[in-house]
Amino acid sequence: MPPEFQIENRFIINSLENTLSGKPIDPASFDNGPLNWDYIIATSELNGVIPLVYKSLNLFDKDLVPVDVAETFSELNRESAVSNLIKLTELFNINKKFKESGIDSLVLKGAGLGCDVYGDISLRPFGDLDILIREEKLISAVNILTDCGYEHIFVYTDKQAALYKQSAFYLKDQELHYSFYNPIKKIYLELHWALMPIKYSFSQDVEEIFENAVSVSAGQGEIFVPCIEDLIIYLSLHGSKHYWSRLIWVFDIAVFIKEKKNVNWELVIAKSEELNCKRMLLLSVYLAKNLFSCDIPKILLNYLKADNSVSVMGEIVISNFKNGLSYEEIEAENKTFFLRSMDSNIDKLWFVSKIIFKPTIYELEAVSLPNKLSFLYYLIRPLRLLKKYLLRLFSYN
């Protein structure tokens, strides 16, 4: 890890690295002044790594960790573990109702990673439940969730949500997932019918994901998750989509590589080439290797050497962590970063065209059209963007 890392950020990353290896942190590397523990706690929480840093602190000399800091980490770790167990219980309940209605479902990211990759549900915090279903079962699944007390939520104002529901674009969400919230159980849930939005152009085939799915033990029973070859590609796509703005996403890759020794990397590479996302796969590997000293297979080292863009982009991500940028600050640049990470120029063109022409809630707010004329929103979108950026340009002058 570069020496210019802010000492607190370096401490967090070293903690994760040592959790991965099982080796204690060397206290001598932090002897140039007191640590800002409030910053460490807040940043660890924002990056979803409280349980992992806490596990590392247990390998640390107890005299070097203030008592109140150890108690805070212990309490946050306990809260995270309890939250995970509550959500896992709810996941079993929903999966049971889906199964009774003939709906196959897979668990993505957090809960699935905790059970399958980490082998300990308490080590991998997750803020919501991510469930993948087939699109033809969408309406049935929505009805079940509604019966279970879940409400369809929007990241919109009440007025915008009403416009969206009344429009021709309702039930055609461009992100290809719906967000729900259960106000009684205080659980968020995302229901996916594709792994990536249409604008990213290389989402894995859902039917193939289901055919390759495997079951894993989750304490109270079993859940189904994508097979390891499909999972590593999905994690790489998801991380790149969000500009690798949280440390936990990089650590997921590091744990995956360390724990999953039976990965068919030739198949993974072949699939990533077929989907035109090999650079994103290699970027995830580069970050795991350079942030957490993760040993990676030789076949991947050879591919890393063949694409210089990977190291350039990887150092940008590492610099973000070094500078302590917030999730929001990093995410603000995610579209540009994702464009650079694409392998195919055709995919890049498709991505840009979707940004320019795909209608959003803001077009619905700007102009009210009857549903039979809703196709005109595809023309209104670029005109609104042109006006927006021209006004911004002239305001600068």
Specify the pLDDT at position 5: 47
Q: Which helix H or strand E contains 215, and what residues bound it?
A: strand 214-217
Q: Which helix H or strand E contains 293, and what residues bound it?
A: none
Q: Which two tokens stand for residue 180?
A: 């729900």
- Between the ranges 154-168, 188-202, 274-288, 322-336, where is the mean pLDDT highest? 274-288
**Residue 4 above 50 pLDDT?**
no
Better-predicted residue by pLDDT, 302 or 174: 302
Give the relative orientation of helices 298-306 and 265-274 as an angle to the nearest 10 degrees. 30
Specify the pLDDT at position 2: 41
176-214: pLDDT as tens digits: 788 899 999 999 999 999 887 766 766 778 999 999 999
**CA distances in angstroms from 211 to 112, 226, 227, listed in the order given:** 17, 9, 9
Number of H helices, E strands in the chain: 19, 7
Better-predicted residue by pLDDT, 167 or 239: 239
Separation of alpha carbons 302 and 214, rounded Å: 30
Q: Which two tokens stand for residue 235?
A: 């994690």
Average pLDDT, the chain: 85
Domains in the chain with CATH codes: 102-226 (3.30.460.40), 228-344 (no CATH), 359-396 (no CATH)
Separation of alpha carbons 40 and 19, rounded Å: 16
**CA distances in angstroms from 276 to 109, 257, 339, listed in the order given:** 22, 21, 12
Specify the pLDDT at position 173: 57
* Confidence tier at 232 by pLDDT (50, 70, 90): very high
* Confidence tier at 3 by pLDDT (50, 70, 90): very low
255-313: pLDDT as tens digits: 999 988 889 999 999 999 999 899 999 999 999 999 998 898 888 998 998 888 899 99
Percent residues over pLDDT 90 in the chain: 43
Torsion of CA 86, 93, 124, 199, to 10 degrees: -130
28-85: pLDDT as tens digits: 656 556 788 999 999 999 999 999 999 988 877 666 788 899 999 999 999 999 999 9
DSSP lists the bridge partners of residue 192 as 132, 177
For residue 317, which phi and psi values (nearest 5 degrees)? -65, -45
* Exposure class string for 261-298: b at 16+ Cβ within 10 A, else e: eebebeebbebbeebbbbbbbbbbbbbbbbbbebebee
Separation of alpha carbons 282 and 236, rounded Å: 8
Name which of 117-126, 131-140, 201-210, 255-264 the model is least confident about: 201-210
Those residues whose C-beta lies under 8 Å from the C-beta of residue 141, and which sit 6 or more positions away, are 98, 103, 105, 133, 191
**Residue 329 above 80 pLDDT?**
no
87-99: pLDDT as tens digits: 999 999 999 999 9
**Residue 345 above 70 pLDDT?**
yes
Separation of alpha carbons 271 and 293, rounded Å: 26
Total-model pTM: 0.87
